[in-house]
Every structure is written in C-alpha cells, then in structure tokens.
Structure 1
C-alpha cells in the first residue's frame, strides 16, 4: 500500500508532469487533431502554414531592404528565422494563457493530469514550427551563397562581421530544446493563472504586439548600432536597453547558428537563468493550484 502524499507538495506536482509525459500519445493526437481541424476541407491542408509564413517573410524582407538599404540576400534569412521563432514564442504565450479555458470540456470529463493540456499546446506549436522550417530551408538554399562565408548584415562602416554558416548550426538543436522547455513553463504558469483571473489573456494580447516590435524580428541589432554610430553615437546604449528584452535572447540562441551570425554566450546565460526561474515559479503554481483548475474553468 503506497504512502499518502499530501496534495500540495512538489512531489505531487512532479508526479503530474511525469504522468503527462507518459500520456504522450494522448496530447500528441490532440495536438495533431487541432491542426487537422483548423485546415479541414482545405486542399493542401497544413501546407498553408508554410505558405503563409513564406509570404509574410518575403514581404517584410523586401520592405525592410528597401527602407534601410540592406542586402536582401543576407537580411531575408534573418527575418525568416526570426518570424518562425516568434510564431512559436507568441503561440506559447497567447494560446498558452487560454490552454485550460479552451480545454474546459475535456478537463471536466477526462481523468487526465492537467499538464496534458499544456503539453498539447506546446506540441501543437512545435508542429507549426516544423511546418514553418520548410520555409527556412527554401530561403537558405536560395541565398546560401550569401551566408556560407563571413558577411555583413547591414551596409555600413564598421558593421559587425558575421562568421557565416558552419558547424555551429548544430547549436540550434539544444537551443530549440531550451525554447520548448521554456514554452512549457510559460503555458503552465500563464494557463493556470489566467484560468483564475480571466483578465490576463486580454492583457497579454494587448502587450504582445509591443513585445514583437521591441524584439529584433523585422529589424536587427546591427541596424540599430549602425544607425547610432552614423548619427550621435548612442547605438551601443540603445542596444544595451533593447537587450533587456528576454525574448531577444531566446530568438538569438537559435537564429544565430541557423543563419551563421555572430553569437554571444550571454544569450545562453540569460536563457538558462530564465529557464530555472520560470520552472521554479511554474512548479510552485502547479503544486498549489493544480487541483483547482477543474473548478475554475
């Protein structure tokens, strides 16, 4: 006979996570069903995910190159990869905050760990990410000759020299694993909190656009630094302020190796620190409020 374990303990919280991991067929099928349902009766189905991403990346790349005089052959791979990563991060934050609310029916009827629904959301975003990576492969193949050797992202004096594609591309694998880990705690933390306080999802939706423009997706830190050097010399200060945005570091740890850009180990330190703090908060919330989710939805 197993010993009694009080409900509000970290052991119960970790058991909930372990049980959800063992139920991977459940959340895997649910996530895939979400995608099939979204593109039901569509001729090409989920390929619309890749097409939409490709059109958006091309449009932003052309406009950005025309406005700032950048070389589109080096700028487009950077913008494309940034958009793909942003879609994953944005999905975990926005859809994650409504994870348990959207799964109200299943939570009340299906005897499963609550973290199953968090894994469902993260896995769905991972599938979107995989579809969008098709666009990355196409862009890299088209512009490989521009990024397989040292290059400048902006046409300016003293511009940062990026090393170009190399063996460092394999750093994208552990980088994406870290992003998935962080996406999971974000969904758990925001999802449980938003289930109790229903004003949180609209607040997140209001601020997510501001976060997008504060993150180097459509633009790059190289452009900010080059513009500062060309004018009043405040570019370095502006870059330091923009680096306070943690999403910037999450984007850079995977984008830099994928497009052969210079990378600082500061990104890994920041992401590692956020991972530890985020999971600590998520476990506390999971320990205290896991059992109340079914009553809040």
Structure 2
C-alpha cells in the first residue's frame, strides 16, 4: 500500500511537470542568458571554450601517442561533447533542489520541474557545443553521413536516463549535502575509466571487454559518438540503455514518492 502511494505521488509529480514542460525549459534558457548577460558573444563563450579545450586535448594526445588525427580528433570531439553533457547534468542534478530552494519554499511547483530545468539547461549548452563537431570534421577532412541523424534518438535515451539519475541524486544530496562532493570525485574517476580520450580497442587482452561494455557511460557516449563517426550504434547499446532506463525510473519514482514531503524541510 505504501509503495502504491509513493508511486502515485511521484507519478503525479512527473505528469504535472511534463504537462507544463515549457516552464522549466524557459527557466533553463533564462539561467544561461543571465550567466552571460552583457557579453557580446553571449552563450557562445561556452562553445569557444569547449572548442579550444577539445582542439588542444586532441592535438596533444594525438601527437604524443602518434595517432591519426583524421580519425582521432572527430572521435575525441564527439566523446568529450557527450561526456560534458552527461557529467554536468549529473553534477548540477545533485543540486537541483538546493539551488532552487527559494522557489520550492515559496511556490507550489512539482519537484520534477527542477530536474527538467537542470537537464534542459545542459541540453541547450550541448546544442550550442555540437556545432564544434562539423567544424573539426571539416578541418581534418572527415566526412559525415546520414547516420548522424541517429544522435536524436540517442540523445532521447540519454536524457531519459539522466532524468532518473538526477531525481535520485537530488533527493539524496538535499538530505546529505556532502554527497555532491563524493559524486563529483566519482565522476572524475569514471572519466578516466571510460573511453573518452582513449579508444576501447587499445585495452590489453588480459582485460575483459565486459569492463567497458557494462559501463553505462560508455554506452551513453556511443549512442551519440557512433552516429557522428558514421556508424550506427550496436543493438546491445540501445537495449542496455533502455533496460537501464526502466529499472532506474522504477527506483527514482519510489525515492521521489517516499521523500517528496521531506525535501522542503531538508532545505
């Protein structure tokens, strides 16, 4: 009975948020606009900074390890753009309720709206940054094909998974404030353990391929990277992300429904 009540509370909260999804999306756009207010370049400072970072990292690692820049630069560009989106969404998601405490304590809005606002803000930033890929691809003479359109369903799968991750972490981090620093540290470790700046093909034979294939971040990145590199993602990656979304959302709905009434007191 308690589980059914928790599911009802959380499901209603999510439904009401999605019904008025324009509001958190508008707030997300406002967050970015305020950050770069009075700047001539505006939000595209994000793109310029990321372009410099990816180009520098790609040239340095590509030169040091004598890699083929024709393939390596587009590869690392797609991987880092996707990783940055995932990383910042999770990191910001930990603070979704804490950063919106004034709204939560004064306005009766569904809690899931604050999660949507966080992920939407980072999705907008990803939209700005994605133009870096064709720039680098043209610079190194790398051609794209129609498989690039598959990044759209790939992003949908990633967003669906990021939303449930942010729901769980935002509730836990509101209760345990130090958890945000723990999550940030874990994400730094995952960055090096995930094929972002290195290729999974270079793993030694003594390491099982399952170490990479069972890494959710590897599968998420591949849903965007492979289409941009001209290849369709493997069916197993779609299935993995789909199953993970179903299981994750069941847990997220339980957590949100059980602790929703306490969040305002924790703030």
Question: Take 2:4 and 2:240, find their aligned partners in 1: how far apart are those partners?
Answer: 33
Partner of residue 247, structure 1: 217
Is 1:58 the counterpart of 2:91 in the alignment?
A: no
Instruction: Name the SS of the counterpart of 1:260 in structure 2.
Output: coil
Q: Give 1:1-297 correspondences, 5 Å limit.
A: 8-143=5-140, 145-146=141-142, 148=143, 165-222=144-201, 224-225=202-203, 228=204, 233-234=205-206, 237-261=207-231, 263-297=233-267
Q: Do the aligned partners of 1:92 and 1:186 also contact (CA within 8 Å) in 2?
A: no
Could you list the runs of 5+ residues in structure 1 that have no partner in the other structure? 1-5, 149-164
Provide the rounded CA distance (Å) in 2 between the counterparts of 1:294 and 1:7: 22
The answer to whether the 8 Å contact 1:64/1:219 transfers is no
Q: Deviations over 1:154-190 (max 9, x none)?
A: xxxxxxxxxxx43332222111101011111111111
Higher relative contact order (CA 8 A, sep 6+): 2
List structure 1 runs of 4+ shifted beyond 6 angstroms: none
- Residue 9 (structure 1) shift: 3.3
Alignment root-mean-square deviation, CA: 1.8
Q: How far has the Cα of 1:261 moved from its partner? A: 4.1
C-alpha contact 2:6 2:253 (8 A) present in aligned 1? no
Q: Cα offset for 1:266?
A: 2.0
- TM-score of the pair, normalised by structure 2: 0.93
Q: Are the structure 2 counterparts of residues 281 and 67 from structure 1 closer, same or farther at C-alpha, using a change threshold of 3 Å? A: same
Deviation at 1:241, TM superposition (A): 2.2
Aligned residues: 265
Moved more, 254-263 or 122-131: 254-263
Unaligned runs of 5+ in 2: none
- Call closer, same or farther: CA 1:141–1:126 in 2, change over 3 Å: same
Aligned position for 1:162: none
- Shift in Å at residue 55 of structure 1? 0.6
Partners of 2:4 and 2:174 in 1: how far apart?
19
Equivalent-residue separation in structure 1 for 2:232 and 2:130 (angstroms): 21
Displacement, 1:134? 1.3
Query: Is 116-125 or 37-46 further displaced after alignment?
Result: 37-46
Return closer, same or farther for 1:265/1:220 CA change in 2, 3 Å cut-off.
same
Cα displacement (A) at 1:272: 1.3
Q: Deviations over 1:220-272 (max 9, x none)?
A: 113x14xx3xxxx43xx354323332111111121101112474322112111
Is the Cα contact below 8 Å between 2:146 and 2:230 reproduced in 1? Answer: no
More divergent stretch after superposition (23-32 vs 170-179): 23-32
